[in-house]
Structure 1
Amino acid sequence: MTDMAETADKAVIIVHSGDMDKLYSALIVGNGALAMGMDVSMYFTFWGLQRLKKGGLEKGPLSKMHMLGLGKWMIKKRMKASNVASLEKLMNDYKELGGKILACEMTMEIMGVKADELRTEWIDEYGAVGTYVNEARDAKITLFI
């Protein structure tokens, strides 16, 4: 019998996309896991990292049916009518529940993003792929969004 590593009650989500609907998915899953008592880390990279810029959280397009912004406008209108929380509220809830945010340093360098351009109050750690791997290596759940 092989000795298997113990998995922690933890979820780690790579947030690669900056699309509004995908960011909603990441935050809803993250908040749900936190509410169920799990530790959660989100590793923001590439276009996901762009959403951590000051004023950038709500700027992403829809992944499908964006239609030059009309699709996003329609979805946001329907979400408001259904009392769906804003991305800003979901992110603040995520942080209040103890969620961890990791920002990809490589992406910052490639895309010319400076730390002072980001919502630093949300970011717990800056790191490269090793930072993500250390978070994910013993997690029960890992997602790529």
Structure 2
Amino acid sequence: MSEKATIIVHSGDMDKLNSSLIVANGALAMGMEASLYFTFWGLLRLKKNGLSQGPLSKMNFLGLGKLIMKMRMKKKNVAPVERLMSDFKELGGKVIACEMTMEIMGIERKDMAEELIDEYGAVGTYIQEARDSSITLFI
């Protein structure tokens, strides 16, 4: 087993995506490898212009909760999701998009933000990543 973290990003909610990226960036900063496997609602964040589109998982209040959370995060110098993803990629993180979810949801590769995606794969791709990981998470 290697020093590697693999995270399933199942939710497209803003707070859960931020949490996934913060943990993954932390792993990379500590010298580990890290991969994010985007599936179901999380996969929607990999669509063109979709990275910052997710609502909050709780207390969204028709978008007002998300706005308040973004303001509080900015005040506390927490990087926005676009910066977290950029850092993740620059540090060598790997993004995998679930092909099965794409088929189920009718999403085509032309719909995706290709610059964010390193690989398209199915469950076997995730299993291989997880098999080689010392940390696995489902967010």
Is TM > 0.5 for Structure 1 vs Structure 2?
A: yes
Matched residues in 1 for 2:77 and 2:28: separation? 21
TM-score by length of 2: 0.98
1:68 aligned residue: 62
From 83, 96, 101, the counterpart of 1:102? 96
Secondary structure of the equivalent of 1:90?
A: helix
TM-score by length of 1: 0.94
Secondary structure of the equivalent of 1:139?
A: coil
Larger Rg: 1
1:80 aligned residue: 74
Question: Do structure 1's residue 132 and structure 2's residue 126 form an aligned pair?
Answer: yes
Secondary structure of the equivalent of 2:70?
A: helix
How big is the shift at 1:79? 1.0
Secondary structure of the equivalent of 2:37?
A: strand
2:22 aligned residue: 28
1:3 aligned residue: none
Question: Do structure 1's residue 118 and structure 2's residue 122 form an aligned pair?
Answer: no
Matched residues in 2 for 1:124 and 1:92: separation? 13
Secondary structure of the equivalent of 1:54?
A: coil
Secondary structure of the equivalent of 1:103?
A: strand
How big is the shift at 1:120? 0.7
How big is the shift at 1:124? 0.9
Stretches of structure 2 that go unaligned for 5 or more consecutive residues are none
How big is the shift at 1:138? 2.2
Matched residues in 2 for 1:92 and 1:45: separation? 20
In proportion to residue count, which structure has more helix?
Answer: 2
What amino acid maps onto 1:49 in structure 2?
Answer: L
What amino acid maps onto 2:37 in structure 1?
Answer: Y
Number of residue pairs aligned between Structure 1 and Structure 2: 139
2:137 aligned residue: 143
Stretches of structure 1 that go unaligned for 5 or more consecutive residues are 1-6
- Runs of 4+ aligned residues of structure 1 deviating over 4 Å after TM superposition are none
